[in-house]
Amino acid sequence: MNTPIKTNSAPAAIGPYSQGMICGNLIYTSGQIPVNPADGSVGATIAEQARQSLENVKAVVEAAGATLNDVVKTTVFIKDMASFAEVNEIYATYFNGPALPARSCVEVARLPKDVLIEIEAIAIKH
């Protein structure tokens, strides 16, 4: 049975999709852009946006009953690969254990709301 994830701690979906899905013991988050769910604001810098995107991923994963330690794979979409090192610095503050998730990072031409970053994750619910 597939169960949609819904939380007020992450931005609401801006289209016909769920914030995430629980499928058995797997959790799939939709791509989380850096919109602050409290006020709809978006930070100006890549560091601010990376932090908010990761906070949103964390909120969806936690709403599904897991933690960031349960994340096994992430995909990071960034507007400019020149931001890679700065994104890594922020990312490392969220994922810093001995078992780091697998990850892909790709540069994209454009993201929803013209943000600089979007992050999605897959986690295992234990």
Rg (CA), the chain: 14
pLDDT, residue 100, reads 97
- How far apart are the C-alpha atoms of 93 and 55, rounded to whole Å? 11
Boundaries of domain holding 35: 2-124
Integer angstrom CA distances of residue 40 from 32, 36, 80, 111:
13, 5, 23, 16
Q: Total domain count for the chain?
A: 1
* Parallel, antiparallel or unpaired: strands 26-29 and 117-124: antiparallel
Burial of 73 (0-12, 13-18, 19+ CB in 10 A): middle
CB atoms within 10 A of CB 109: 5
CA 96 to mean position of chain CA atoms: 16
- pLDDT of 54-95, one tens digit each? 999 999 999 999 999 999 999 999 999 999 999 999 999 999
CATH of the domain at 64: 3.30.1330.40
Summarised one tens digit per residue, pLDDT across range 87-97 is 999 999 999 88
Active centre residues (catalytic): 105
pLDDT digit string (tens) for 96-117?
Answer: 888 999 999 999 999 999 999 9
